[in-house]
């Protein structure tokens, strides 16, 4: 859904992240790995690690079953608006377009060394307007999934 407004360059709505389908085997494998880690940590009496594994497992299960929210995005003359957050163009060095199995995203590369990249999904039919709007303000560079993104994709998290 793309709308135009007098002060907005382009508007669209998209999910905040890709939710990958997980079958029963994924949950069984996850449970086996977590139980093995808990067993090892109990045998070695690493109580802090045991608590960390249990809390991490709970958080990951909650995260994996929670459906992604649909967020409203706007490009203005000042930057990218994601709901109530505004990302200024000045905070980013460049942008790129990522095609992840037919799901398109703008990837913003920050100027600060240790800041994370910002990934914003968009519908294919609005892609040209969105890319042109970013291209008028930031240089475009080729982007790929980084190592951590590849691991997350492979694990279907």
Alpha-carbon gap, residue 65 to 78, rounded angstroms = 35
**CA 22 vs CA 9, 30, 31: distances in Å:** 37, 11, 13
Quick one: tokens of 142? 């080729």
Tens of pLDDT along the chain (157 residues) come to 444 444 668 899 988 888 888 888 999 999 999 999 999 999 999 999 999 999 999 999 998 888 888 999 998 888 999 888 899 999 999 999 998 778 899 999 999 988 888 999 999 888 899 999 899 999 999 988 888 888 888 887 7
What's the topology of domain 8-18+73-154? PH-domain like (2.30.29)
Q: Which residues have CB under 8 Å from 102's CB, separation 6+?
A: 124
């Amino acid at each position: 859904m793309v709308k135009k407004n007098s002060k907005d360059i382009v508007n669209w709505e998209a999910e905040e992240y890709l939710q990958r389908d997980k079958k029963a085997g994924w949950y069984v494998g996850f449970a086996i790995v977590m139980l093995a880690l808990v067993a090892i940590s109990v045998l070695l009496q690493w109580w802090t690690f045991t608590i960390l594994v249990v809390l991490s497992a709970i958080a990951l299960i909650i995260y994996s079953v929670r459906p992604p929210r649909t967020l409203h995005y706007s490009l203005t003359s000042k930057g990218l608006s994601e709901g109530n957050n505004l990302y200024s163009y000045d905070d980013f060095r460049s942008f790129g377009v990522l095609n992840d199995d037919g799901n398109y995203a703008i990837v913003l590369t920050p100027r600060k060394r240790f800041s994370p990249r910002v990934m914003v999904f968009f519908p294919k039919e609005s892609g040209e307007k969105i890319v042109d709007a970013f291209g008028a303000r930031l240089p475009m560079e080729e982007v790929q999934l980084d190592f951590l993104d590849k691991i997350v994709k492979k694990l279907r998290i």
